[in-house]
Amino acid sequence: MKKVTLSLAVIAGLSMYSTANADSLLEALTDGKMSGEFTTTYENRKVDKEISPWGINYYSNTSYAVGSFALKYETGVWNDISLTSKFRAYTTLFEEDKNSTTSYGTGDASERFREKDGSDRTVDLEELFLTYTPMNNISIKTGRQFISTDWVNKTHDAVRIDATFEDTSLEAIWSARTGRIYSRDYRPMDKFNKNDGVYKLGLTQKFTENISATAYDAIFPDLRDIIGGKVNLKYGATSIRAHYAASKEDTVTGLKDSNLIDFMASTSIAGFSPYAGYIKVDDDAAFPGYANSAGEIIVPFEEGDYVYSKGAETIYLGVSKSIGDLSATLLYGMTEYLDGTNNKLDMDETTLWLGYPVTKDIKANLGYTMVNEVDGSAHGDYDQLNITLAYTF
């Protein structure tokens, strides 16, 4: 596989340890667990205005189905070390337009399942990492792994350290590459910030059972720092998050410093789980949320294209409910933002997510999104349907 230097180093490290205690290593390998899944995902999108700059489709009507097969193997623990490996293979099942040229390849599916080096769907490593736990309160993961934290999100070739000392928790991350490798999305792993990647250091202090605070710094060498802090409050079934982040740009980016505030509250009432949030971005500059960070976890929407735009102000309200085996979430939100000439535009987005276990081993998920945009926006109104079936074994 290409672009998996960290992961190959993991295997090399394990091989060196094997000479020290081959019998124990063999036992760890034979005690491992194998699992896998077959998935099919279908997506259909209809837009009011198709955008085709430079002769390629950037935002267009699409309809496609892609299948994938994933196989995962987790070793037992040996000398506090374990290895997790997982690969995923993709194949195109259906495309309404097989010849459309998108920004990432050919055919409808290439907008979300990007092609690798101009070829068709591919096989790639979804996970390949070592976990080292020298003590119960310390975990070190090295290799390709899924990470979900502020400004480092999705699939990463990374080293991650998590440690907890009584009421204090430490998070330290270095990521060299990022991408997306799972059933509904494939974006090949690629270097972020050339060879420098991103460093993240976070510290969380738990003051009481109901109050904790986090401070962090995500360092993108020669590009920017994203410095932030958040407070989490709990009272019974109610949780409140208050979050502030500031981007400090290096001169080479040509971008202005920016900041945002992020509030979210959730609770549980009579079997319903309502939640609401508010996000506000600096009026003078956009925040580096999507293209200029290594991932984000603030945006709650299926799309949410303008949440990090200059001057963007977003309000959202959602509710989740389980009805027997059916789980349902309905989310509605509105965003006002400034365009390149400081005109104020707005949009609203509504999404319904449904999940249902068809059998013990087969699960179905459906998402339907409607986006309404004001006249003068880039691509007008659109709606999107996605359905994913997964058989696990």
Write down the pLDDT at residue 22. 36
In whole angstroms, what is the distance from residue 275 CA to residue 71 CA? 36
- Residues in CB range of 263: below 8 A, 6 or more apart: 240, 241, 242, 243, 277, 278, 279
Residue 119: pLDDT above 80? no
The band of 354, judged by pLDDT with boundaries at 50, 70 and 90, is very high
Taking only the tens place, the pLDDT of each residue in 308-319 is 999 999 999 999
Taking only the tens place, the pLDDT of each residue in 380-393 is 789 999 999 999 99
With the CA atoms of 285, 291, 295 and 298 taken in that order, what torsion angle do they form, in degrees rounded to the nearest 10? Answer: 40
The band of 377, judged by pLDDT with boundaries at 50, 70 and 90, is low
In whole angstroms, what is the distance from residue 234 CA to residue 240 CA? 6
Residue-averaged pLDDT of the chain: 90
Write down the pLDDT at residue 9. 44
In whole angstroms, what is the distance from residue 47 CA to residue 50 CA? 6
Write down the pLDDT at residue 169. 98
Percent of the chain with pLDDT strictly greater than 90: 75
96/20: higher pLDDT: 96
Q: Three-class SS of residue 111?
A: helix
Of residues 345, 354, 353, 355, the one with CA closest to residue 378: 345
The band of 49, judged by pLDDT with boundaries at 50, 70 and 90, is confident
Report phi then psi at 208, rounded to 5: -140, 180
In whole angstroms, what is the distance from residue 117 CA to residue 188 CA? 10
Residue 192: pLDDT above 80? yes
In whole angstroms, what is the distance from residue 73 CA to residue 316 CA? 40
In whole angstroms, what is the distance from residue 186 CA to residue 122 CA? 9
Of residues 259, 263, 183, 196, the one with CA closest to residue 223: 196
Q: Report the pLDDT averaged over residues 229-249.
A: 97
Of residues 206, 261, 197, 265, the one with CA closest to residue 229: 261
Lowest mean pLDDT among 116-120, 229-233, 325-329: 116-120
Q: Report the pLDDT averaged over residues 126-141.
A: 96
Lowest mean pLDDT among 46-50, 68-72, 196-200, 205-209: 46-50
Residue 118: pLDDT above 90? no
Q: Measured between alpha carbons, how far is residue 75 from residues 88, 136, 144, 322, 355 in Å?
A: 18, 18, 16, 35, 31
C-alpha angle with apex 41: 36 to 46, nearest 5 degrees? 165
The band of 340, judged by pLDDT with boundaries at 50, 70 and 90, is confident
- Residues in CB range of 2: below 8 A, 6 or more apart: none
Taking only the tens place, the pLDDT of each residue in 288-298 is 987 788 999 99
Enter the tokens of residue 121: 């769907």
Write down the pLDDT at residue 117. 67
In whole angstroms, what is the distance from residue 64 CA to residue 136 CA? 46
Enter the tokens of residue 86: 């997982």
Write down the pLDDT at residue 289. 85
Percent of the chain with pLDDT strictly greater than 70: 90
Q: Report the pLDDT averaged over residues 332-356.
A: 94
DSSP state at residue 8: H
